Amino acid sequence: MRIAGRLNWIAELPREARAAIRERFAYRDLKSGEVLGEPGQPCEGIYQVQSGYVKLLGDQPDGERSLLAIYIPGNCFCESPVIAGRPHHHTHTAAGETRIGILRKTDFDELCKLHPAISEALCRKLAATLSSLISYRETQNQTTVGQRVALILHNLAEVSQTPRHGDYKEIDVPITISEMSTFLGLTRQTIQKEISQLKKRNLIEKLPGNWAVREMKTLADLSQASERQLAYSE
């Protein structure tokens, strides 16, 4: 149920393999809202967020897009299309000014042969992702909407690149109530109701263009059931 995680399989590699990947990286700077890839487009390689954030979006039958995940610095994505040799299946957009590193498919294939640890690290990542998806399916009906909304906001505050002042922390990951609703598969009105309750309890506040958590510990306690159920899949 976490919308963002700190998984960075490249950082887990032996030093020689990490250095080899860094040497092959090409870098690209994206403007806010710039699309990196859309369904059906060829996938040029594996991406890693260097700074900023990238949103993973899924296309719905009605033409709208739903938020599936947010990638933070260190996160890699598009491994599956590269390994399977298929095009993009989802849309990736920059959430704010973002810099990414690109490991092109030809370089990836070559490095996998030279460094077996790369394939092993990817297997661990894909296994963790599968476990997380199964866990989400199993537990989504065992937590309240309020717990799920609290977990999203606490999760985003934790991964934000902002300083924490006591229990206060601003969220610098751009997200809207509509995006939260599509992530959880609930109506915007339902999410708005829970947000209003959190505001009344003085746990969060709305800032110009973003959010802030006023009571990190209390918000964590509120979402602890969700945290506990999903801890093993991080």
Ranges of each domain in the chain: 15-138, 144-233
Q: Determine the 3-state secondary structure of 29 from DSSP.
A: strand
Q: Determine the 3-state secondary structure of 218 from DSSP.
A: helix
Reported as a single tens digit per residue, the pLDDT across 135-188 is 666 666 678 899 999 999 999 999 999 999 999 999 999 999 999 999 998 999
Instruction: Say if residue 228's pLDDT is above 70.
Output: no
Distance CA 139, CA 171 (A): 26
pLDDT tier at 131, thresholds 50, 70, 90: confident
Reported as a single tens digit per residue, the pLDDT across 181-219 is 999 989 999 999 999 999 999 999 999 988 999 999 999
What is the token pair recorded at 174?
């751009």
Tell me which CATH homologous superfamily contains domain 15-138. Jelly Rolls (2.60.120.10)
Q: Is the pTM of this model over 0.95?
A: no
Contacts of residues 58-67 at CB distance under 8 Å and 24 or more positions apart, as own/partner, are: 58/90, 58/91, 59/90, 59/91, 60/182, 64/182, 65/91, 65/182, 66/182, 66/183, 67/3, 67/175, 67/179, 67/180, 67/182, 67/183
What is the token pair recorded at 3?
């919308």
Give yes or no on whether 15-138 and 144-233 have one common fold.
no
Q: Determine the 3-state secondary structure of 216 from DSSP.
A: helix
Architecture of domain 144-233: Orthogonal Bundle (1.10)
pLDDT score for 234:
31
